[in-house]
Amino acid sequence: MNPLTLFELNHFVHGILEHSLRDTYWLQAELSEVSESRGHCYLEFIQKDQSDGRLIAKARGQIWRNRWDFIRPYFQQQTGSVLSAGMQVLVQVQVTFHELYGYSLNVLDVDPTYTLGDMARRRQEILNKLRDQGIDQMNKELPLPLCLQRIAIISSSTAAGYGDFCNQLHSNPDHLVFYPQLFPAVMQGEGVEQSIIQALNEIAATQEQWDVVVIIRGGGSTADLSGFDTLSLAENVAQFPLPIITGIGHERDDTIIDLVAHTRVKTPTAAAELLIHHQTEQLNRVLQYSERIHTASTALLKQASVSLQTYTLRLPSWVTTIENQQRTRIDRLTHTLQNTVFQHLARCRSTHDILDHRLHAAARQMLQQQHTTLDIHQHRIQAADPHHVLQFGYSITRLNGKALKDAEEPHPGDILETILFNGKITSVVKMKLKGS
C-alpha cells in the first residue's frame, strides 16, 4: 500500500467536497468571533445545545472584500447594528476546503431580517423579565423635579453629540443657567454595558447633587447599538433613583434602555431642548405667579389704604366712644369698690364687737378662776401657818434660834426656848434621855 501525503489527502477531500457540495446553503448559527483584516471579514460560527448550552458545532467563515463592502453597510442600515459576537445570523454559505487552510464557509449573503427578529426576540425576553420583576416602569414613574439645572451626563467626552448637547444648553434664548457634568463612558463596542453601569454607580453615590441624568450618544455611526440592549444595563436604568433621559441618536428603533428610561428623545440636541423647554415652562410659571402676586398685592394695598382712610375718619368717634365706655366702667368699678370696702369694714366692725365681747367675757372668767385659785392657796397657806398649828397644843423648841428636831443635839447647860400658842418658856438642859 502506497501511503498518501497530507496534501494529497487534503486535495482528495477538496475534490470530493467540491464535487458533492456544489450548491449554496442557508445557515442558521451564532457568531462567536468577528474580525476584519485587509477589507475582509472573518467569522466563527457556533451552535450550542439548547438544553444545556454545550457547544456542539463550530466552523470558520469569511466574507471576502468584494462582498463585504456591500453586505456591511446594508446590514447596518437594516438592523442599526454591526455583525458582532453573540449575534444570531442567517447566512448564505458555500462550503470550501483548502489544502492549507482546511474547511471553511464562504459567506455570500446575510439576511438582516433574521437577525432583526432574533434581536427583537431577545429584547422582548429582557422586557418580559423586567415586567416580571415589576421594575420596567419604575424610572418612568419618578416625578421630574421642578428645577432641572444639575445635570449628570453619561457620554463619550469626544462625542460630537456631547458637544452639541452642551452648546444647545448654554445658548438657550432665555439665558437659563444649567450645571452639567460629564461622567465619561464608552458608547459603542463591547464595553458599553459595564462602562455606563459604572457611570450610573458614580452618580448614585452623590445623587443628592443631581436633578436628572442624561445618556447621550451621537455624532457618529448609528450602528453597534447592541450594548444598550442588555438585561443588566436595563435593570440599572429602570431602578435608578433619578429620572433618566436618553438621547442615543438613532432614528430607527428604541433600545431597551430607551424603553425603561423616564423619557426618550432621538438626539442629544433634542435632550437639551427638552431640558430647556422644561425650565422655560417653570420660568414662565414663576413669572405668572409673580405677576399674580404683584396684582393681588396691589389690590390688597389699595383695599388697605381705603380701609385705613375709613378707620382714620372713624377713629375720633371710636376714641370718644371708648373713653365714655371706659369712664362708665371706671365709675361702676369705683362704686363697686366703695360698696365692697364698706361691706368689708362693716364685717370687720361686727367681728371686732364680737371679739371684744368675747375678750371681756374671757377676761372676767379668767379673773374669777384666778380669785378662786388664790382663795384656795390662801387657805392652804393659813392651814400651814405654825401659829395656827400651835393653837392645837403643839409647841416649837429652838436651840440658838433654830428649831430643835433631834434630842441628841442639845447638851447639858444649853438654853432652850419653847414657843407656845400664848407666850414662850426658857429652860436649861440638865440631862438627856435617849428615845425608846
Query: Do the Cβ atoms of 151 and 178 come closer than 8 Å?
Result: yes
Q: Please list, residue by residue across 304-330, b when 16 or more beta carbons sit within 10 angstroms of its beta carbon and e when fewer do.
A: eeeeeeeeeeeeeeeeeeeeeeeeeee
Q: Which structural domains are found in the chain, ordered by start?
A: 6-110 (2.40.50.140), 137-281 (3.40.50.9100), 389-428 (no CATH)
Name the grid cell of 389.
Answer: 398649828
Q: Are strands 55-63 and 40-48 parallel, antiparallel or unpaired?
A: antiparallel
Amino acid at 321: T
Each residue's pLDDT tens digit, 67-115:
999 999 998 888 777 888 888 899 999 999 888 888 999 999 999 888 8
CA angle 312, 314, 316 (to 5 degrees): 85
- For residue 62, which of 37, 25, 88 has the smallest C-alpha distance? 37
DSSP label at residue 178: -
Cell match 452623590: residue? 206
**pLDDT at site 85:** 82
**pLDDT at site 249:** 67
Q: What is the pTM of this model?
A: 0.56
**pLDDT at site 222:** 47
Each residue's pLDDT tens digit, 198-225:
999 999 999 999 999 999 987 544 446 7
Task: With a cut of 50, list the residues of the chain below it in pLDDT.
Answer: 220-223, 436
**pLDDT at site 86:** 80
What angle do helix axes 268-383 and 160-170 make, rounded to 10 degrees? 60
Q: Name the burial class of residue 186, with classes exposed (0-12), middle (13-18) and buried (19+) by CB atoms within 10 angstroms of its CB.
A: middle
Q: What whole-number distance in Å separates Cα of residue 127 and Cα of residue 125?
A: 5
Query: Do the Cβ atoms of 41 and 63 come closer than 8 Å?
Result: yes
